[in-house]
Amino acid sequence: MNTSVVIVLAGNSTRFGQAKQFFPVEGKPLVSYTISAFNSHPLVDEIVLVVRQEDEEELKQIIKDFGFNKVSKMVYGGETRAESVRNGLDAISFEKGKVLIHDGARPLVREGLITRIIEELDKSKCVVPFLLQEDATYSLSKNNYVDRHDLFRIQTPQAFRIEVIKKVFKDHFDPKALDEASMYRPFGEIGFIQGDKQTLKVTTKDDIALIEAYLKQQ
């Protein structure tokens, strides 16, 4: 069964202070690690990049420089994440199969996690990696502590059967949805699998030190 990947790179990087996808990490742009993880995976057939128009030429050069031969298309993002993902889904080459939707700012997704997610889609229509909440957690709205054992930290890539998620986006699209799984949830069960601490999302420049520390361990 064919597998497509949609990598979302259309954010404004407001909290980072500059276009974080191009920030140098160990001498390479951060986004190169993200794309490489999927480009080198034997079960991935194609990659669609969802980008800001002003970043298009620089990303094309990165694709050329690193030989990312599985990048099939580059499309522009929308006003919200959900709109950006919809543009990416519309651009994939297949009507059936599997699709993984990934945050471009999570550069260290490892091959083993990608493999487990793709294989789990043989049994589920939606697969989402998670981490358990390890710290004590307090709710301001409830003015009380919340049981951390009831809380998951959701990661990407989130994966779906192509025909299923395309139908959800066509018939039940919510431009304000937090992520794809939340839009899908009213219509089916989510298959949760254990995520990976290395698949952290770069939000501020403080996160770069963690990324570099993980790279030194590899």
User: Which backbone phi and psi does 138 adopt, to 5 degrees?
Assistant: -120, 135
Closest CA to 75 of 64, 61, 90: 90
Contact 190, 126 (CB under 8 A): yes
List, for residues 51-80, the tens digit of each pLDDT value. Answer: 999 999 999 999 999 999 999 999 999 999
On the question of pLDDT at 175 being above 70, the answer is: yes
The span from the CA of 58 to the CA of 60, in Å, is: 5
Alpha helices (H) in 10-161, listed in sequence order: 30-39, 56-66, 81-91, 111-120
CATH topology of domain 3-217: Spore Coat Polysaccharide Biosynthesis Protein SpsA; Chain A (3.90.550)
Give mean pLDDT, residues 138-165: 88
pLDDT at 14: 66
On the question of pLDDT at 12 being above 80, the answer is: no
The span from the CA of 181 to the CA of 171, in Å, is: 15
pLDDT at 17: 67
Domain coordinates in residue numbering, the chain? 3-217
What confidence tier does 140 reach under pLDDT thresholds 50, 70, 90? confident
Question: Which residue did the predictor score with more confidence, 194 or 136?
Answer: 194
On the question of pLDDT at 160 being above 80, the answer is: yes
On the question of pLDDT at 149 being above 80, the answer is: no
What confidence tier does 139 reach under pLDDT thresholds 50, 70, 90? confident
Contact 145, 137 (CB under 8 A): yes
The span from the CA of 160 to the CA of 146, in Å, is: 30
Contact 44, 141 (CB under 8 A): no
pLDDT at 200: 94
Where do we find the tokens 């789990």?
A: 120
Contact 38, 108 (CB under 8 A): no
Count of residues making up the chain: 218
List, for residues 80-134, the tens digit of each pLDDT value. Answer: 999 999 999 999 999 999 999 999 999 999 999 999 999 999 999 999 999 988 7
On the question of pLDDT at 189 being above 90, the answer is: yes
In eight-state DSSP terms, residue 80 is S
